[in-house]
Structure 1
Amino acid sequence: MSVGFLIDMDGVIYRGGELIDGADRFINALLREQIPFIFLTNNSQRARRDVATKLQRMGIFVEEQHIFTCAMATARFLAQKKPNGTAYVIGEGGLLQALHRNGYSIVDHEPDFVVVGEGRTVTLDALEQAVRLIMNGAKLIATNLDPNCPTKNGTRPGCGATVAYLETVTGIKAFSVGKPSPIMMRAARKELGLLTSETVMVGDTMETDILGGAQMGYRTVLTLTGSTRREDLDHFAYAPDAIVESVAEMEDPLAFIRSRLPRGKSEDDTVRLTAMAR
C-alpha cells in the first residue's frame, strides 16, 4: 500500500508545550514502517531545524526533512515568480532564513514584495513602512491568514491579523501561500514524492487542514484534540473522511487506512488525455 501523511502539529501532536497522548506512538509507527510523512505548520517564526528540535525534546524523534513550514512554501513560491528578488519583511527568523536560502535579499526600500509572517515584536513603525511600500507598488504576500495563535498564556494575534491591518489601510488584498493554499499543500506532497491518491492530511482545523486537503483531493482525517469540536462540523459544506478523538487511534497507520478511510482516487493523479482534448 503506497501512502503518506501530511500532519499538522499544534492541536494534533501537541497542545502548547504538552505532547498529546499517543502522538509519539503514531509517529514512531510511521518511522518504523517507513511510511513517508511531513509536518505542516502555518507558523513562520521558527526555521525547520528549530521545529525539529522542539519535537525531539518532546519525544518525537524526527529530522529537518520531516518539517515543512509556510515560510518555506512562501520563499519557494517567490523565488519561482521572481528569482533573486527583494522583500521587506514583517516576521521572524524562520521567514528571514527561508527567504535568504531561496536567493532573496531583505531591504527596507523599493522591495518587490512586502512579506508578512508571525511576529511577536510587530511595531507601528514597521506597519507604517509596510503601508508606504505597498502603496508605492510592492506586492503584499502573507505566509498565512490565521487570525490568531494559541499559546500557553492564551490567544495572541496571528499573521492574518497583521495582514488584515495592511489590507484595510491600503485597500489591497494579500496573496497567501500557507494552508489551505494549494501552493503549500501541493508542495508538501511533492516533498514526499506522493501521488494525490496516496496522500492523507491529518489536522485539527476545518478551515485550513481539512479544507486544504479536500481542495487537493487528499483523504482527510480530523482530530478533535485541537480547535474543532464535533458539533462544529454542521457549519461546513465539506467534511473530513474520518474523525478521531486523537491520533492515538492511528497507532497502526496502515490498519487505520484500510478500515477507516475510503480508497484513494487514482483518477485524481493525472489529467486524462480525453479530458484535455475536449
Structure 2
Amino acid sequence: MDGVIYRGNQLVPGADRFINFLRAEGHPFLFLTNNSQRSRRDVAHKLCRLGIETSHEEVFTCAMATARFLASQRPGGTAFVVGENGLANALHINGFTVADDDVDFVVVGEGRTINFEILEHATRLVDKGARLIATNMDTRCPTESGARPGCGAIVAAIEKATGKQAFSVGKPSPVMMRIARQELGLRTGEVVMVGDTMYTDVLGGVQMGYTTVLVLSGHTTLEEVKNYAYRPDYIASSVADLPEELFRGNRIKVPA
C-alpha cells in the first residue's frame, strides 16, 4: 500500500488510473497491507479520502490473515495483543477473546502506543507457555517524517527475552498469500503480486509461484535489487507503468 498506491497522504501519480483500469477491465484485485494498526474499513476510508473509491471487501490486512489463521488453529481461543485496534478487531471478528492473563497466544503487531510495560507482560506470558505470533516481520515502517520500528523490530525484543521464535503470518508468509488468492477465487497462474518491497511482496509472490512486479515508487531502489538471490518478473517505475503484457487476453488478474 504505502509506496505502491500512496506515499503517506499522497497518491502515487497514476495509481487512481490504474485502479480504474482494473475495474473497467473486470480484473478482481485486493489491496494487501502488512499494517495491522488499521481495520480494513479504516484502510478503505483512507483510499476513498485520497480519491480511490474502495469497498472494505477489497482490502486484506495482515491482521485479518493472522486472526483467521489463529481461529483455524484454536477456535474460540484467547490472545494478549501487542498492537492497536485493527488487530484486536480482527481477532474479535474471528471469535477470539482478547485478555491479559492465561492466554493461548501473544500476538504482536505494529503500534505507536506500545510501551515497555506491555513488552514486559508479553514476555512473561510467553515464558508461561503462550505461543508467540507476529502479524509480520517488517523491521521498519516508512512515515512522512522518516522510518519507525516495525512489527519485526518490536517482536524481536520478546524473542530475545524469551528465546522463543515468533511465527509470522503476514507477507511474505504463504499463509497470507494463499488466503488472499482464495479470497479472489483465482488459480496460482492467474495472480500477479505488485509491491515495492523485495523481502515481503516479491519474496512472498516468488514463493507462491505468482508473477511478481516490483515498483520503484516506494523504498526499494533498482540498485538494491541485486542484493537478493531472487528476482521479480518485472520492474516498473510505478503502478502507472506496468507492462501491457500483464493484461493481454484477460489472462492475469492483479492484486494491487
Range of TM-score over shorter length: over 0.9
Q: CA RMSD of the aligned region, Å?
A: 1.2
Distance 2:106 2:81 in 1: 6
Alignment counterpart, residue 231 of structure 1, candidates 218, 223, 226: 223
Aligned to 1:79: 71
The runs of at least 4 consecutive aligned structure 1 residues that moved more than 6 Å come to none
Quote the residue 2:109 is aligned against.
117
The aligned counterpart of 2:171 is 179
The letter for the 2-side match of 1:169 is A
Q: Give the one of 10, 14, 20 matched to 1:22.
A: 14
Q: What residue number does 1:96 align with?
A: 88
* Structure 2 partner of 1:43: 35
Question: What is the match of residue 168 of structure 1?
Answer: 160
Q: How does 1:202-241 map to 2 (within 5 A)?
A: 202-241=194-233
Of the three residues 229, 233, 245, the one matched with 2:237 is 245
Once the two structures are TM-superposed, the CA of residue 59 in structure 1 deviates from its matched residue by 0.8
Q: How far apart, CA to CA, are the structure 2 residues paired with 1:118 and 1:231?
A: 29
User: What per-residue deviation string (whole Å, max 9, x for no partner) do you get for residues 18-71 of structure 1?
Assistant: 101010000011111221000110000000001000001101111111100000
Task: Count how many residue pairs are aligned between Structure 1 and Structure 2.
Answer: 250
Structure 2 residue 47 is matched with structure 1 residue 55 = yes
CA apart distance, 1:256: 3.6
SS in 2 for 1:220: strand
Q: Distance in 1 between matches of 2:154 and 2:225?
A: 28
TM-score in terms of structure 2 length: 0.95
SS at match of 2:81: strand
Offset at 1:258? Answer: 5.3
The one-letter code matched in structure 2 to 1:116 is V
State the structure with more CA Rg: 1
Partner SS, residue 28 of structure 1: helix
Partner of 2:246: 257
Paired-residue identity, %: 62
Q: Match of 1:178, SS?
A: coil
Name the amino acid aligned to 1:122: I
